Chains A and B, each alone.
Chain A
Amino acid sequence: MLAQQLLNGLTQGSMYALIAVGFALILGTLKLVTFAHGEVFMAGAFVAYTVVSLVGGNLLWAFVLAVVAAGALGVVIEFFGFRLLRNAPHTSSLLVTIGISTIMVNAAQLIWGAETKTFPLGQETGSVTVMGLTFTGLQLTVYGVTLAMIALIYVLLDRTKVGMAIRAAAQDHEAAYVLGVGINRIYSLTFALGSALGGLAGVLVGLYYNAVYPTMGGMMGLKAFSACILGGLGSVPGAVVAGLFLGEVENLAVAYLNAGYRHVFSFAILILFLLFRPQGLFGRKENIR
């Protein structure tokens, strides 16, 4: 029973990890806390829902289009929320992302309505049982997609020239600039990448709980933010570990205590970390301002 619960927690945690990695990429590179990340996540879910309702059950297209749309949204948010405000105080960017998130929630309500949508997929995908543990097809999809994305991000950041430039820009954007790195392009690309991951998480969450609604991103955005603080500001591996951890904790709280305690535990952990280890699991003290 416990093993099954841990497995469910892993599913939840995978989705947290995915959205948190996107958040961490943006935070680490642009030094910007984007409060529109949860809404990009929501937009990803709605795009997937729309694709499935229009062309039927082919999930591959839903995934691809949702990721592309979320990435494109990231480029737009970067432009209005960051590039245009390059010389403004940092809080301006932060406030603009809050504004964008409000606009996006309302736009989603206008387009799709305020009520919860379900994917018209018919019957639940099959499940497999291994050693007494039941994996649903959806769970396996969540694990597979998350693992593939984390591997992809790792290879991109660690093994490619553009990934090296992203890391360099995150560490010292001025030094990168004088070496010829096109900083604007890197920022735009990073924002697109982070948002694409957020949108992908949106599709997974929408499918897993079979519920898509305009305000679904609010709590998710906060969870991504929490996972980032827990993992260490801007640390990608930290975001993965912290996302999985939060998923497990929440799931155990729901299973053994009370479903109402779900968010309480996540945020209690966040507060404890902020009090006693503000640099997070993988962060460094000097990164904290």
Chain B
Amino acid sequence: MLRLDGVSTRYGQIQVLRKVSLEVRQGELVCLLGGNACGKSTTMKTILGLVRPFEGTVEFQGERIDGRKPADISRMGIVPVLEGRRIFPDLTVEENLLMGAYLRSDQVAVRQDKERMFGMFPVLADRRRQAGGTLSGGEQQMLAMARALMARPKLLVMDEPSMGLSPLYVNRSFDLISRVHAEGVTILVVEQNANMALAIADRGYVLQVGEIVLSGRAADLRDDPAMRMAYLNTARKD
């Protein structure tokens, strides 16, 4: 569904990504792992059209999307969930959901989807007239997810869903992601917390200084000695 092939990018003189290749297939939950400043965000921005690669290609459903405008890419069905949830604090929960469907014009279906989200996340239904900013961190994560789903994404790209959440909410947040995945949504999660991400993902890629150094099935990555050394032990909280 999504395929990056030999993608390299730079900011000014500094090369950030070096021949990054990765793939997300229909229905998969794939995670892209790595520490700070390893190029995770740049990879995400490249997929969303916010950064242009100077070599390599990005394909979505067989069409090249590198060099296209972000708005066109989001219209094709790639929907991001930004780091930090980015709920509109003074819009009500309901309005936040409607903003997710901003590009859709099928009002009847939008209303149905909204009710479906309230069914999926009853907490949000209870708070539908409340301002988004009054929700707890975990509730905001749900709202961010539901808002993204309102766009009927073909591919959900999530940036650091665990960032800034307490350990309890990190767990809930990943439960939420696997729930949404179970509903049939294809997801790419960009994440530092390798333990959590590999626990729910089908496959994973590991980025280091702009290069993919490891990739494979999530279960294999969890047992990979290099992986354990580099990430899992340090990331382990228990």
Contact = CB atoms under 8 A, between A and B. Distances in A.
Interface of A: 161, 164-165, 167-168, 171-172, 174-182
B191 to A, nearest CB: 18
Contacts of B80: 178
A179 B90 CA distance: 17
A181 B86 CA distance: 15
Contacts of A177: 70
Contacts of A165: 99, 102
Given A164-B98, A165-B99, A178 B82 contact: yes
Interface of B is mostly: mixed
A171 B91 contact: yes
Contact size range, B: 20 to 34
Given A164-B91, A171-B88, A171-B91, A178 B99 contact: no
A168 B82 contact: no
B82 A175 contact: yes
Name the residue in A167, A168, A176, A179 with the highest tally of chain B Cβ atoms < 10 Å from its Cβ.
A179
Contact of A168 (B70, B79, B91): B91
Nearest to A175: B86
B89 interface: yes
B91 A167 contact: yes
B82 A180 contact: no
A1 B80 CA distance: 62
Contact of B95 (A164, A174, A181, A182): A164
B102 A180 contact: yes
A167 B88 contact: yes
Interface of B: 48, 70-71, 74-75, 79-80, 82, 86-91, 95, 98-100, 102-103, 147, 151
A8 B82 CA distance: 51
Nearest to B132: A171
Contact of A178 (B70, B90, B91, B98): B70
10 contacts: A161-B102, A167-B91, A168-B88, A168-B91, A175-B87, A178-B79, A178-B80, A178-B82, A179-B99, A182-B71
B86 A174 contact: yes
A169 to B, nearest CB: 9
A182 B74 CA distance: 12
A179 B151 contact: yes
Contact of A172 (B75, B79, B88): B88
Nearest to B71: A180
A180 B103 contact: yes
A55 B86 CA distance: 53
B219 to A, nearest CB: 32
Contact of A179 (B48, B89, B100): B100
B102 A175 contact: no
Given A164-B95, A174-B82, A181 B102 contact: yes
Contacts of A182: 71
Nearest to B92: A164
Contacts of B71: 180, 182
A178 B99 CA distance: 10
Nearest to A183: B71
B118 to A, nearest CB: 18
Contacts of B151: 179-180
A178 B147 CA distance: 12
A180 B75 CA distance: 8
Contacts of A176: 88, 99
Nearest to A167: B91
A180 B147 CA distance: 12
Contacts of B79: 178
B86 A167 contact: no
B75 to A, nearest CB: 7
A171 B89 contact: yes
A200 B82 CA distance: 40
Contacts of A164: 91, 95, 98-99
A176 to B, nearest CB: 7
Nearest to A158: B95
A178 B48 contact: yes
Contacts of B91: 164, 167-168, 171
A164 B88 CA distance: 10
A9 B59 CA distance: 64
